[in-house]
Structure 1
């Protein structure tokens, strides 16, 4: 390829280098992890960054722990300066954040590594490179430990990075990708704001604290769900490991992971299917049925959108149409999900049973008011889903751009 050279990382432009991270970082401040023992919190002590303080590519300094000046001085090479990178070695493995002016003088804990680039290498460019899918895959393939997975310092030091010799090109690439990061951050914040707005509306509308004008004079009272609906627990074909119960097609076999994975009120697919024999030993649910999880992750409602079956970790709720609007009931269950999770039976994992579900107190009001409340909350849901789709699309576009820019396949004008 004209203008390109082949390296162990693939083809890169002739004007680029392929260097180990240890050659890019400062000799006097090599890649190192932080303080092993922080001791008790110290008033006016040195703040230390833990893995949990690295959040969405930034340092969250709201709840930092502290250590003494003496202990921090013993780890001088991991004292932060503006532009340094901090990298999670466990938990959020490989996640990076860039230190700002306000973080100068902070130190790190054992689970976090310092990456301090030399002056001719841009830290934001390095942050984008090491955050790319290629390097994430590399890091995950080189973990140590069995129960507690951890990234060794030597692995981090040996990471080979393709990088332009011209720092101006590094800065330009980082600027382009950082623009996408800002868009992703804006969309993420917008989703959080919309979710908070919906939460507030649920608190007002589903408790009667706020009523629509045309319904203000109508009575609002509560009734047990079991008095206005039929509730049936699911069932599993036994033994569950019998392959004759499963198939590649047929009725979906709804698992807890299916209802937690898919966002929104509808359940549109399952990762497993039952054979006719398996379905005959379970509880069938049809399109439009409302189900709720009652074990592991408790109180998650879903409106089924494919012919399926549920096991005994779910209940099927039917025959409520004369008293309840389906989407109103869905939103009310969603509203009380935290309360349901706390009311489960103790054991190896908390769970509900049909008696507990039957005793859930449901507000009984006119179907017209229920419909209007559901419309407002569903509108919020649709807004959130649309923004989430934009966010996912933005992330995919950035990922594609990273593949082009961080390998030199697409060059920027400097």
Structure 2
């Protein structure tokens, strides 16, 4: 409940007042989503969270529809996908929206992650908020991989086969884990059944963790381009100022979504996957979806298969440690010139890894992948702690 003009609590009347006096959901909503104070200098990067929320809901709606018409067996999975597209009313559109949503969701998630890194949104008291975000990233990547295998096309089948071999490279437990994952020596019915259940269940787990992520955000408050903002005069209520801003961001994102969906579907589809899985014919170029290409490049850049697997997984794991790698008291990137340059180099290295993965890390791309991998880990494990320590010493000297 909000304070009235006289300083007391404003009483609700009618049905809403009756409900709120017994179950204060209306006043809680107003406090958290209408009057919730937000820093007034938030830029367009803070609208990406709203885009992710809308796309997640779209993915859940289309995914449930697809799941009700999908047959998770090796013999019928591909045919059931074709039946969805050709016989289910609007089925082609539902599947296209789901596929487009998966790609653009990961794209927006990477932008959201970079914004958090650039503006140091992981610093005290937001460590738990950051960890929830990293758990979301890991869950979304597993969910996306499982969904990629389900159509049981050529790339889906061989993607599952490559993933199984990568798991098998782990010493001691690898071979057993690979057999559990595949349900045998090669991908088949059991593999498809495992991934179908995993994909469906994790979608709702993701939704639950998003709720925890948002709850943690509302508890700690939002970060800003200038760092911590606590003064009331530097904040604005979430509605109408930021609902309008988020609405505009979602509208622009919807236009991009429609452009890719209707005019540029080749950006997010793999022609080889429109052929049914054939265990006897290996595609010439086996590669993951674009959002996994940087990690695929890291995997290929390391000579050892197990070492590449550790490095690829470590590229995600190191993000969980960021709040403890960067101990600098300085938050605003404009006050951190060295860190700002390093943060601008990070997405360049990430994109170079993606290009190297697209070219299968062959020829000169091998050296590009190795250099980009080296910078990626140096950024987090060397630059971030060193710059943090120097900034801390400077800050204490000024105080």
TM-score normalised by the chain length of structure 1: 0.23
Structure of greater Rg: 1
Q: Point out which structure has higher relative CO (alpha carbons under 8 A, 6+ apart).
A: 2
If each structure's strand is expressed as a fraction of its own residues, which one has the higher value?
A: 1
If each structure's helix is expressed as a fraction of its own residues, which one has the higher value?
A: 2
TM-score normalised by the chain length of structure 2: 0.24
